[in-house]
Chain A
């Protein structure tokens, strides 16, 4: 590992100012992803700014009836939080479906949002990768791409976003609060992560120096009727092949409102807006759910090894919406 400096800032402003002045610095929180990538030589910061103890470490009520999750809240505490379990169950389920007990104790909310892809070529510094080394090429497009994207990819990059938590937060319409050198801003979570386009080295829309300080959940009552369903290659402790977070609001057998997001299929958590539009005002039921899923997946462009993700995503969307219909 290349030598680097380490500072623990006294407050958020200090951390942001320190990082903003150092072009090759990185924030350190739980470290479960960053330290691993530094060992692999994939990421080589020359300065770590430790922010683990700087931001809010609690889940707080907001005046509007929503919740604010501090960026430093460990994944394990967030999953177990009674308010989250009751009012936003998809978020608890997503967190519990990710990583292991030990890792969830270390990993933070902010860090989970900003974790990097598990594309094996990106993690292997001996192979070309446009995300790691822009312009060097993509090894996955013609390589082993079973775990790669079927939606929103580009000729530059077919990596997927690995977070379970972020998929749930997208379905729950969360907002991400960040502090930067020029002040704070509040980002709809759908606008935090980005598609690869011709800048696959950029995972998010954050500017250098911007620090996630908290995540806000909106006070939408029907989000208590939400689920997270994840399909993976073993029963536990594996990244998603495909996952779905959904929330459903039904009145008299008709879909009044719905939120659907997919994991494991794109460079960002994929908000299934086409499926949502197709469902609003329609009667609930397997046939309608399946048609809506198929509408969303019409744009899918599977690679050599991952065509299975298209029917898998369709089935998991359908099953999850059926579960939510029955639970009402």
Chain B
């Protein structure tokens, strides 16, 4: 079955027809040529496909395109503005937060979404006091909140400082 879908991706509007089986990940990569979201596991286990979906980080491999008709998406390549890298992108470069780079776009988008969650006061599994007004984003918090993004090169030791720097701590 085919369905028409409208999406706004990285500031550009698209209208196209997809098979209802198409995930947002495949729609972005195969139909729109936006290849920064990567296909790692394709089962929601690795986070390489992470996008901002209506402002929140999400696994695009488990979201059906037809179900998110009308949504606004930001991918890693849409984070840069006017040729200037997003602070999170710059921090990953400066801290060498990658080796092969395959998980990096997902890591960066996830980190950007994660900092918004912290700003909104969302607790995590390692937050001592659930009722805390303001979360202190220490390294344990960063690791817990980023656990949905795997790096097979294990660049975590540099990813954590990159995120820490952008968080302003």
Contact = CB atoms under 8 A, between A and B. Distances in A.
Contact of B57 (A31, A79, A102): A102
B43 A39 contact: yes
B58 A97 contact: no
Interface string A87-116: 001001100110111110110000000000
Given A48-B20, A100-B148, A32 B125 contact: no
Given A80-B120, A101-B148, A6 B66 contact: yes
Contact of A101 (B3, B53, B117, B127): B117
Given A28-B67, A92-B123, A96-B125, A106 B148 contact: no
B59 to A, nearest CB: 5
Nearest to B129: A85
Given A35-B23, A101-B57, A6 B131 contact: no
A96 B123 contact: yes
Interface string A12-50: 000000000000000010011001101110000000101
Contact of A97 (B1, B59, B125, B149): B125
Interface string B55-68: 01111001110110
For this complex, into which size category does the number of interface residues on chain B fall? 35 or more
B64 A28 contact: yes
Interface hub of A92, A102, A237 (most chain B Cβ within 10 A): A102
Interface of A: 1, 3-6, 8, 28, 31-32, 35-36, 38-40, 48, 50, 52, 76, 79-80, 82, 85-86, 89, 92-93, 96-97, 99-103, 105-106, 235-237
Interface in B60-82: 62-64, 66-67
A50 B123 CA distance: 30
B114 interface: yes
Contacts of B124: 96
B90 interface: no
B110 interface: yes
A109 to B, nearest CB: 16
A80 B123 contact: yes
B32 interface: no
Contacts of B99: none
Interface string B2-15: 01000000000000
B58 A80 contact: no
Contacts, number: 111
Interface of B: 1, 3, 19-21, 23, 42-44, 47, 50, 53, 56-59, 62-64, 66-67, 110, 113-114, 117, 120-125, 127, 130-131, 143-149
Given A5-B1, A6-B3, A32 B123 contact: no
B167 to A, nearest CB: 15
A237 B147 contact: yes
A36 B23 CA distance: 11
A76 B43 CA distance: 20
Given A50-B67, A102-B58, A89 B147 contact: no
Given A93-B130, A236-B144, A31 B123 contact: no
